[in-house]
Every structure is written in C-alpha cells, then in structure tokens.
Amino acid sequence: MTTSFQAGGRKTVLGMIHLEPLPGTPFAADGSLGGILDRAVRSATALRDGGADGCLVQTVDRVYSVEDDADPARVAAMTRVVRAVVEATAGDGFQVGVQLMRNAVRASLAVAKVAEASFIRAGTLVGATLTAQGLVQGNPHDVMEYRRRISAADVSVVSDADSMHFSWLGGDRPTGRVAKDAGQAGADAVCVSHPEERRVLDMVASAREWAPDLPVLLAGHTTHENAARLLAAADGAFVGTCLERGGWGGPIDPDRVRSYMEIVRGLER
C-alpha cells in the first residue's frame, strides 16, 4: 500500500473511476451494486492496460452529507468495490485511491485500510469551503487521530488545496499557504485545479513556494492538448474526461490512456 508521489520526480497519473450512487444513499438504484463493481473493475484494468499509474475510486451520489461521516451500507459497498479493483490490478505497482464524497475522510481511510488501497483524497482536510450541500469544515485533528488509531499511516492522504471541490472560505489565503497547512496537518500531497491554465500554473508555483517538499497533483482540467504544459510544472494528475469515450462517465479507452501517458512520459526523458 505504498504510493510514489514525489516532488520533482516521476509523474504520477491517476485515472478517475466515478461510481453511480451506492447503497445507503438517496439515489441508489435497487440491485445496482453488482454492475457498479463490474464497471469499476473494467475501468481500472483499462487504466492499467493503458499505462496509468493508478486510479481514484470516487463516489458520485448526487447529494452528500457535509459531515465527516457515511452510511454503513455505503461504506460496506465502497469497500467491496475498492477491494475488487485492488485485486484486479494487483502485481503491477498500480495505485488505488478512495474518496467518499463530500468529505467522509475517516470512512475513506477505513475503506482504504481494509481493502488495501494506497491512498485517499480528502476534499477538505483543513479550513472550510462552501458547497451546494452547505458548509464543509475540515477536522485534521480527528482525521489524523483516526488514521493513527487504525494503523493507516501506510495510506497516503492527498488534500485538495484549491480546486473544483475546495476553495478557502473567505478567499484570502494563498494556495501555497493552504498547501502548507495541509502538509503540516499530515497530508502527503496536495492537489489543485482550475479551467484556466495560467491560474493552474500560478497555483502550482504558490504551492512550491510555501511547501517545496510537498508533491502537487492536478485535480482536473487536463487534456491531451495541455498535459505537456501543465504536467511540466506539477508532479502528477487526476485525469478523467479525456480518457473516456463519449465524455464524462463514458467507458475508459485504453488507447486514450496510452496516448496521454506517452505525452507524460515524454516529459521525463
């Protein structure tokens, strides 16, 4: 369960696996778990076959609690799905991550530990952010205490510092300062995103200035066209839509993954 996030080292490309609403959530369809699990495994193997370094299994349940909490059925279902992905991709150094949205960080840690995944992504580890579901507040003390209690130090934590899922409430804190706060709170890497390339590069530069030893990943908005420019600055990326046939939510195309990875690996030569 080790991860290879490195500041200034080999780029880490993590494909997104978006799950349909799970049991224990308001919009879950009866009897859907088997299909959700099968699609997640197919997506993960397509990413592995295309040369990606790993994946993030992320819930898309339409509505979310703003608390660091999750329904037991939802946690159990996520554990089944993630464990199936881990087993299907074992043996190739393929990293599997967990994110129970909106901010069920402790549940994500529990799933990752039990399913033997590599890392979690925390939407709000420090500070607070406003979302469609309401105010989401970080609680790094309780998260890290729980991480210690379940012996999950081997599960890395990637924290959003400025992205589509997190924006510092009040807007007066530099991205780099948020990254530093997250690192001090126990994050092993941070992620940033914005539709405008210049803004993304500024975010990465700010994180480098404030927390030079902390790996910085891109949290969306990369494509085959801009990957070389953006990943020249960052240490890796979460990648979704541009790897899927038919746009967001479509099946992952191994050929699209291969062409994306050729661009990224070209930066390392």
Q: What torsion, rounded to 10 degrees, do the Cα atoms 146, 152, 102, 218 define? A: 140
Q: Residue 238: which residues within 8 A CB-CB, separation 6 or more?
A: 14, 15, 16, 56, 121, 191, 217, 218, 219, 220
- Please tell me the predicted confidence (pLDDT) of residue 143: 98
Q: Where are the domains of the chain?
A: 12-266
- Please tell me the predicted confidence (pLDDT) of residue 10: 87
**Contact (CB, 8 A) for 240 and 260:** no
Q: Which fold has domain 12-266?
A: TIM Barrel (3.20.20)
No. of H helices and E strands in the chain? 8, 10
Tokens of 252: 């992952």
**Contact (CB, 8 A) for 161 and 207:** yes
Alpha-carbon span 39 to 81, nearest angstrom:
10
- Please tell me the predicted confidence (pLDDT) of residue 246: 80
**Contact (CB, 8 A) for 257 and 46:** yes
- Please tell me the predicted confidence (pLDDT) of residue 245: 87
- Least Cα distance to 222 among 212, 234, 213 occurs for 234
- How far does Cα 69 stand from its chain's mean position? 18
Alpha-carbon span 261 to 51, nearest angstrom:
6
Pairing of strands 134-137, 128-131: antiparallel
- Least Cα distance to 56 among 124, 148, 123, 145 occurs for 123
Residuewise pLDDT in 10s, the chain (269 residues): 445 687 667 899 999 999 999 999 999 999 999 999 999 999 999 999 999 999 999 999 999 999 999 999 999 999 999 999 999 999 889 999 999 999 999 999 999 999 999 999 999 999 999 999 999 999 999 999 999 999 999 999 999 999 999 999 988 899 999 999 999 999 999 999 999 999 999 999 999 999 999 999 999 999 999 999 999 999 999 999 999 988 777 889 999 999 999 999 999 86
Q: Quote the Cα angle for 136-213-185, to 5°.
A: 35
Tell me the DSSP string of 128-145: EEEETTEEEE--HHHHHH
Element (H, E) at 264: helix 254-266
Alpha-carbon span 62 to 205, nearest angstrom:
33
Alpha-carbon span 24 to 69, nearest angstrom:
12
Query: What's the pTM?
Result: 0.95
